[in-house]
Structure 1
Amino acid sequence: MSPDPESPDPEYVIRSIRADEWPAAKEIRLASLQDPVAHLAFLDTYENAVARTDRFWQERTAGAAEGVRERQQIIAEEPGGRWVGSVTVLVEEAGAEGAMGGVNDVRQGHLVAVYVRPEVRGQGLTERLFSHALRWAWEVADVDQVRLFVHERNGRAAAFYRKFGFLPTGVSVPVPVEAGARELEFVFKRP
Structure 2
Amino acid sequence: MTRLTSGDYVVRAIRPAEWEKVRGLRLDALRDPAAPLAFLEGYEEAAAKADLFWQDRAAGSGEGSATAQQFIAELPDGSWAGSLTVLIEEAGTEDWAGFPVERRQGHVVGVYVRPEHRGNGLIKAMFDAGVSWAWGRGAERVRLLVHEDNERAQGAYRKAGFRPSGVRVPFVKDAAQNELEFVLDR
Question: TM-score normalized by structure 1?
Answer: 0.92
1:28-55 deviation line (CA, Å, top 9, x unaligned): 0000000000001000100000000000
Please point out which of 108, 112, 115 is paired with 1:111.
108
Are the equivalent residues in 1 in contact too, given 2:84–2:109 (CA < 8 A)?
Answer: yes
Per-residue CA deviations over 1:79-131 (Å, capped at 9, x if unaligned) read: 11111100000110001001233101100000000000001111111010000
- Is 1:39 paired with 2:36? yes
How far the C-alpha of 1:8 sits from its partner, in A, is 8.3
Residues 41-60 of structure 1 aligned to structure 2 (within 5 Å)? 41-60=38-57
SS at match of 1:181: strand
| Aligned position for 1:180 | 176
Q: Secondary structure at the match of 2:16?
A: coil
1:24-103 paired onto structure 2 within 5 Å: 24-103=21-100
- Within 2, Cα distance between the matches of 1:8 and 1:110? 23
Compute the displacement of 1:163 (Å).
2.6
Q: Sequence identity, in percent?
A: 52
Structure 1 segments of 4+ aligned residues over 4 angstroms from their partners: none
Query: Which residue is 1:160 aligned to?
Result: 156
Distance in 2 of aligned mates of 1:100 and 1:86:
22
Amino acid at match of 1:43: L
**Whole-angstrom distance in 1 between the partners of 2:16 and 2:159:** 33
Q: C-alpha separation between the residues in 1 aligned to 2:155 and 2:24?
A: 27
- TM-superposed CA distance for 1:67, in Å, is 0.6
SS in 2 for 1:80: coil
Question: How far apart are the structure 1 equivalents of 2:132 and 2:32?
Answer: 27
In structure 2, the partner of 1:143 is 139
Tell me, yes or no, if the aligned pair for 2:124 and 2:159 is still in contact at 8 Å. Answer: no
Amino acid at match of 2:80: W
Pair 1:167–1:46, CA change in 2 (3 A): same
For residue 160 of structure 1, report the CA deviation from its aligned partner: 2.0
Distance 1:165 1:127 in 2: 9
Paired letter, 1:76:
A
CA contact (8 A) 2:6 2:122 kept: no
Whether the 8 Å contact between 2:105 and 2:143 is mirrored in structure 1 is yes
Counterpart contact for 2:91–2:104, Cα < 8 Å: yes
Count of residue correspondences: 182
In structure 2, the partner of 1:3 is none
Whole-angstrom CA distance in 1 between matches of 2:175 and 2:143: 23
What is the match of residue 14 of structure 2? 17
